[in-house]
Amino acid sequence: MYKFKIKSKSKNYDVFFSNDLTPLLKQNFHKNDFIIADKRILQYLNNLRFISTNNIISITANEKTKDYQIIGNIISKLINSKFSKKNKLIVIGGGITQDIGSFISHLIFRGVDWIYIPTTLLSQADSCIGSKISINFNNYKNLLGNYNAPNKIFINTSFLNSLNKKDIYSGIGEMLHYFLISSKKDYIFFKKNIKNFIKSKKSLLETTIKKCLKIKQKFIEKDEFDKGIRIYLNYGHTFGHALESYTKYKIPHGIAVCHGINISNYISFKLNLLSKTDYDDIYKTVKIITKNYPLNKINVKKFCEIILKDKKTINGVPRFIFLKKPGMPILKSIKLNKTFENYLSSYFINQ
């Protein structure tokens, strides 16, 4: 078993990589604890006979469920059971399930312990560490949230066998932003191996997941609460979240982020921050991930209205993460004026 520790202001926690989660689950589960799981994953958990089915809450893991009004139903079920302050939640699923479980564990009884078992490539390589909770509100992506570190994380890459190609591509799209903000060397590694990622070669994916988490660890341990350099982890996400909201989540998150990376890079190029050579090179990598999800007929004014709702917007001026070159992200505030709209229009027309 491989493990490493994440340092958090609230509590330090370990990330375990294990080929067999059953004994770990059994060891950590006690009477009146509850499991919140993506219902698609339950069929892969064949050894939960030590847990009463009454203690398993299965959810439909989609953006509609990740709404605070829907989440209230789960909280009601826990309150009406024997679940108490001394119990914990074990959360099994991807990033949406994680957001729901961590949100509930943060609020109920002013906070209970929780353990996370990420089951998607995106959650294993990205969202499982960092403590962020993000909940949707009135169709605006991740508008409500806080920070709530888990007590433990268990990663088993065998869960990736349950994913379809869309989920694999989405995870790869999210991973790309780490390698681009990290260094040129890391980006070259990603670019060299992207086709093997798509083929889901287990040993390579596990190595790459560890690389992603180690890159993210450097940012979150220095700036857990998003007051400084952690904001660079939002590279590609402002535009990506806007695309998700605009398309009513028809584009998977990691693929939307990958589109967002390309939009960000295009504007970086137009602002003379990113060279044409680097833009073209990264664009070739992006297209491998986004090719099955083209952008069609984007209304720029409506798109900009969504951007203005982004949590990084201050006094009506959005802040974006742009790239000067691989390994060199920068933060820049830009008014959504006519010039900016023209950049977006020219980008979307050429897609």
Average pLDDT on 109-123 reads: 96
pLDDT reported for residue 47: 66
Intra-chain end-to-end CA distance of the chain, in Å: 45
Average pLDDT on 180-208 reads: 91
pLDDT reported for residue 46: 65
Residue 345 Cα to chain centre, angstroms:
28
Same fold, 2-162 and 166-349: no
pLDDT reported for residue 287: 96
Q: What DSSP character marks residue 228?
A: S
> Which class is domain 2-162?
alpha beta
pLDDT tens digits for range 155-171: 999 899 888 999 999 99
Contact criterion met (CB below 8 Å) for 42 and 180: no
Contact criterion met (CB below 8 Å) for 344 and 266: no
Share of the chain above pLDDT 70, in %: 99
Q: Which secondary-structure segment (H or E) carries 147?
A: strand 140-147
pLDDT tens digits for range 215-251: 999 999 999 998 999 999 999 999 999 999 999 889 9
Quote the pTM value. 0.92
pLDDT tens digits for range 255-269: 999 999 999 999 999
Q: Could you tell me which CATH number the domain at 166-349 has?
A: 1.20.1090.10
Q: Among the residues of 223-333, which ranges form H helices? A: 237-246, 253-270, 276-290, 300-307
Helices H / strands E in the chain, number of each: 12, 11
Contact criterion met (CB below 8 Å) for 147 and 132: yes
CA 117/CA 97 separation, integer angstroms: 10
Which tokens is 205 given?
């994916």
Antiparallel, parallel or unpaired: β 328-333 and 2-6: unpaired
Contact criterion met (CB below 8 Å) for 5 and 13: yes
Which tokens is 19 given?
């080929």
Whether 68 has a pLDDT exceeding 90, the answer reads no
| Domain regions of the chain by residue span | 2-162, 166-349
Share of the chain above pLDDT 90, in %: 75
Which tokens is 320 given?
């974006």
